[in-house]
Amino acid sequence: MLKQIEGSKAVADAVAACRPQVICAYPISPQTHIVEGLSVLVKNGTLENCEFINVESEFAAMSVAIGASATGARTYTATASQGLLYMVEAVYNASGFGLPIVMTVANRAIGAPINIWNDHSDSMSQRDSGWLQLYAETNQEAADLHVQAFKIAEELSLPVMVCMDGFILTHAYERVDVPEQSHVDRFLPAYIPRQTLDPVNPVSIGAMVGPETFTEVKYMAHMKNRLALDVIPKVAADFQKAFGRSSGGLVRGYKLEGAQTVVIALGSVLGTIKDVVDEMVAAEIKIGVLGIIAFRPFPTQAVRKALAHAKRVIVLEKAFQVGIGGIVIENIRHALRGTGVKDYTVIAGLGGRPITKDSLRNFFNAACSDQVDELTFLDLDQALAESEILREAVK
Amino acid sequence: MSTTPIKFYQVGSFAIGNRLLPAQDRAIQSDPNRTNALTSGHRACQGCGEALGARYALDAAMRATNEKIIVVNATGCLEVFSTPYPESSWRLAWLHSLFGNAPAVATGVAAALKAQAKNDIRVIGQGGDGATVDIGFGALSGMFERNDDVLYICYDNEAYMNTGVQRSGATPPAARTATTQAVGTNPGNLFGQGKNLPRIAMAHEIPYVATATVADLRDLEAKVTRAMSFRGARYIHVLVPCPLGWGSESCDTIKIARLATQSGLFPVFEAESGEVTSSTSIRKIVSVEEYLKLQTRYAHLFSPTRRDDVIDHLQAIADKNIARYNLISEGSAHL
């Protein structure tokens, strides 16, 4: 049903329509409105047979989720930023056990300095955790991806992070076709766990594995994660059939035909990028866009195929690896190895700094004539940073 | 080759039930049809108090629930010695997640059971003192505060034994550990308040709190059975001597646990909704020295220089417990 609705509320409604049986909640901005919305839906009886647990930390949130999922319950939680980092030990544990937990990450910067606004430092830090990661471009896609996430997670028995930009999406009111209960019920079958804690058929879960078998266990986890490269597009196609709109999948190209330069990004910034690219294409510049929806597993082949005719790529990232540079770019280079495609990395939007059309237009134009450095921090106050560096050096 | 003399009676323990008693009064372990929740062949040390306590506690819980329990285990000796892949000593549904999250994982199990209307299946969380009083303390307090339907059992051997005997928040004053060495003018662990988890549990006003030791296994069985008659958060704190960490003889595990209670250093009691409802009075009162001298972790109190000041300090702690929990009754005898 079409609604003028806050992104967080749309996600809460979509999650509730998936009938989770256990939800654990701990407040952290900008995620909090999602679990607030769910707490109402559980308490007023809209979401039946669901235990809503107010836990004492994010570490407990993921731990409760582990216990619940291992006992055969469809399980959901949400977090952001410091909260995601606080639960990291349990995040790895959940994927190690292959528990199909779905978690929203309302993307937010990591301190110090403390900062509550959006970038991708939090979820990017968990790219090697064994979770699948899906990034929403719009609130419509955020709502839809949650419905798909439960199906993907349960089909593979792997946990899924749905990442949506904090504030930019979570707090934005816009028109969303919220997935309806009857449609979701048809799309998402009841959860049948692969293995569950059951006194009648007791199993030991969580044994200590030594050097003689650990490599094999990790290799199997890698291969299982890669299976998602087939499952994610299949579920997106099923979703389109069931709901009549396209959402999700591995990657999404925009005006790629004839594009010599391709801008690559994840999440809501793709909207601004497309606006700028529209103007540049109108001015007969050969530029297109590639949005990455599935970042883990990384869709190497799909990216390589989408960039088959590109001469250069611009990777716009909302996080970076301190001491090296971009994160997404490393993955893109992996997909493009041997092709000789030029690449430029632009780090933008850190800690919620607005990414404006003007800044993007200037950068893209310069990059199209190879007039930019390999690594750029967009709109950096170079003078301020250098004067501070100098002052530190003098001390 | 020397032969081991056969013992027909277990001396100094009330663990094995008198076959003349009515069946319902006999020890659960004496039942030939008991569940054997933690079966033999695991890799615990000789004389391990934790393995003994866990077996008695869980078999009692199995009987009390008609064998319908799920157990969540914290990382630690109990986890490591019972489940080296591909082996497992557990003959029940068992999950080990992490060191600091067993109470929260148990909450999740209980929530999933409730959501699926499987109210006949009960949940037990368990861990050592490090997992309970230190790294998992926040999760345990959260589980208590929400009154989640979980029995949590702490097997307290008073240090981090699995990693090589380092100090925990439950290590007693003056005890030598790998991180509180017997050197300097104040050898061993510092004197402080200690972290008294049973009293902290009581402060949450949860339905049931109890302490027990492996010296009185009938009492442990009875308390686990009683705990399973309540719904909501419950806590049992079991003193389990560790021969390796305490520097005691493997054959003295039961004896040392008994001396801990007889000296008053470890009070055995029950509490409901925050109030003490009963305590086990000491039958034969002993000085703390009787307890300390069997353990090399206290050897520095006796040589090269005898430290009466420290021994007196420990005696004062025992005396305070005796007064607080009313551990001396008319039948108590001083040795």
The chain-wide mean pLDDT, for chain A, equals 97
Residues A29-62 pLDDT 10s: 999 999 999 999 999 999 999 999 999 999 999 9
pLDDT of A212 above 60 = yes
Residue B333's pLDDT band, with cuts at 50, 70 and 90, is confident
Q: How many CB pairs under 8 A join A and B?
A: 162
CATH number at residue A14: 3.40.50.970
Query: What does the DSSP assignment read for A162-199?
Result: EEEETTTTTT-EEEEEPPPHHHHHHHSPPP--SS---T
The chain-wide mean pLDDT, for chain B, equals 93
Tell which of B101, B121, B141 to mutate to test the A interface (max A CBs under 10 Å).
B101
Give the integer Cα–Cα distance in Å for B35 and A356.
68
In this complex, do B145 and A24 lie within 8 Å of one another by their Cβ atoms? Answer: no
Q: What average pLDDT does range B110-139 have in this prediction?
A: 98
Residue A223's pLDDT band, with cuts at 50, 70 and 90, is very high
Residue A238, class by beta-carbon neighbours within 10 Å (0-12 exposed, 13-18 middle, 19+ buried)?
A: middle
Q: Which residues of chain A are within 8 Å of residue B121 when distances are taken between CB atoms?
A: 199
Residues A31 and A173 in one domain: yes
pLDDT of B172 above 80 = yes
What is the pLDDT, as a whole number, of residue B19? 63
Q: What average pLDDT does range A19-30 have in this prediction?
A: 98
Whether the Cβ atoms of residue B332 and residue B281 lie closer than 8 Å to each other: yes
Q: What average pLDDT does range B312-329 have in this prediction?
A: 96
DSSP A348: -
What is the pLDDT, as a whole number, of residue B152? 98
The candidate with the shortest Cα–Cα distance to B314, out of B276, B288, B291, B277, is B288
In this complex, do B111 and A68 lie within 8 Å of one another by their Cβ atoms? Answer: yes
What is the pLDDT, as a whole number, of residue B15? 46
A38 assigned to some structural domain: yes
pLDDT of B10 above 60 = no
Instruction: Kindly state the percentage of chain B with pLDDT values over 90.
Output: 85
Residues A119-178 pLDDT 10s: 999 999 999 999 999 999 999 999 999 999 999 999 999 999 999 999 999 999 999 999
The encoded tokens of residue B3 equal 């032969």
The candidate with the shortest Cα–Cα distance to A269, out of A149, A118, A383, A100, is A118
What is the pLDDT, as a whole number, of residue A297? 98
Whether pTM exceeds 0.90: yes
Residues A137 and A106 in one domain: yes
Residues A250-271 pLDDT 10s: 999 999 999 999 999 999 999 9
A344 assigned to some structural domain: yes
Q: What average pLDDT does range A311-326 have in this prediction?
A: 97
What is the pLDDT, as a whole number, of residue B8? 47
In this complex, do A57 and B113 lie within 8 Å of one another by their Cβ atoms? Answer: no
Residues A274 and A185 in one domain: no
Residues A134 and A271 in one domain: no
pLDDT of B246 above 60 = yes
A379 assigned to some structural domain: yes
Q: What average pLDDT does range B252-279 have in this prediction?
A: 98
Dihedral of CA atoms B168, B169, B170, B176 in degrees, nearest 10, equals 50
Which domain-ending residue is among A243, A263, A295? A243
What is the least distance, in Å, from the CA of B145 to any CA of chain A?
Answer: 10
Residues A42 and A81 in one domain: yes
Residues A330 and A193 in one domain: no
CATH superfamily of B34-334: Thiamin diphosphate (ThDP)-binding fold, Pyr/PP domains (3.40.50.970)
Residues A25 and A153 in one domain: yes
Query: What are the distances in angstroms from CA B307 to CA B1, B59, B311?
Result: 43, 43, 6
A389 assigned to some structural domain: no
What number of residues does chain A have? 395
A206 assigned to some structural domain: yes
What is the pLDDT, as a whole number, of residue B20? 67
Give the integer Cα–Cα distance in Å for B212 and B35.
21
A393 assigned to some structural domain: no
What is the pLDDT, as a whole number, of residue A55? 98
Whether the Cβ atoms of residue B198 and residue B235 lie closer than 8 Å to each other: yes
Which domain-ending residue is among A193, A211, A243? A243
pLDDT of B16 above 50 = no
Burial track B281-319 (b if 16+ CB lie within 10 A, e otherwise): bbeebbbbbebbebbebbebbeeeeebeebbeebbebbe
What is the pLDDT, as a whole number, of residue B335? 60
Residues A136-149 pLDDT 10s: 999 999 999 999 99
A394 assigned to some structural domain: no
**Strand A173-177 vs strand A2-6: parallel, antiparallel, or unpaired?**
antiparallel
Query: What are the distances in angstroms from CA A84 to CA A17, A54, A121, B57, B310?
Result: 25, 16, 10, 36, 46
Whether the Cβ atoms of residue A100 and residue A158 lie closer than 8 Å to each other: yes
Q: What average pLDDT does range B297-313 have in this prediction?
A: 96
Whether the Cβ atoms of residue A287 and residue A234 lie closer than 8 Å to each other: no
In this complex, do B108 and A22 lie within 8 Å of one another by their Cβ atoms? Answer: yes
Q: Residue A271's domain spans which residues?
A: 251-384
Residues A228 and A266 in one domain: no
Instruction: Kindly state the percentage of chain A with pLDDT values over 70.
Output: 100
What is the pLDDT, as a whole number, of residue B325? 97
What is the least distance, in Å, from the CA of A8 to any CA of chain B?
Answer: 24
Residues B58-104 pLDDT 10s: 999 999 999 999 999 999 999 999 999 999 999 999 999 999 999 99
The candidate with the shortest Cα–Cα distance to B242, out of B130, B150, B123, is B130
A391 assigned to some structural domain: no
pLDDT of A363 above 80 = yes
**Strand B69-73 vs strand B275-279: parallel, antiparallel, or unpaired?**
unpaired
Residues A231 and A260 in one domain: no
The alpha-helical segments, DSSP class H, found in chain A are 7-17, 32-43, 58-70, 81-86, 88-97, 121-124, 139-156, 181-187, 211-243, 269-282, 300-306, 328-336, 357-368, 382-394
The residue ranges of every structural domain in chain B are: 34-334
Which domain-ending residue is among A197, A226, A243? A243
In this complex, do A207 and B91 lie within 8 Å of one another by their Cβ atoms? Answer: no
In this complex, do A202 and B90 lie within 8 Å of one another by their Cβ atoms? Answer: yes
What number of residues does chain B have? 335
What is the pLDDT, as a whole number, of residue B81? 97
Residue A245: CB atoms within 10 Å: 11
The DSSP bridge partners found for residue A77 are: A24, A103
Residues B19-39 pLDDT 10s: 667 777 788 888 888 899 999
In this complex, do B112 and A21 lie within 8 Å of one another by their Cβ atoms? Answer: yes
Instruction: Kindly state the percentage of chain A with pLDDT values over 90.
Output: 99
What is the least distance, in Å, from the CA of A177 to any CA of chain B?
Answer: 29
Tell which of B68, B95, B119, B121 to mutate to test the A interface (max A CBs under 10 Å).
B95
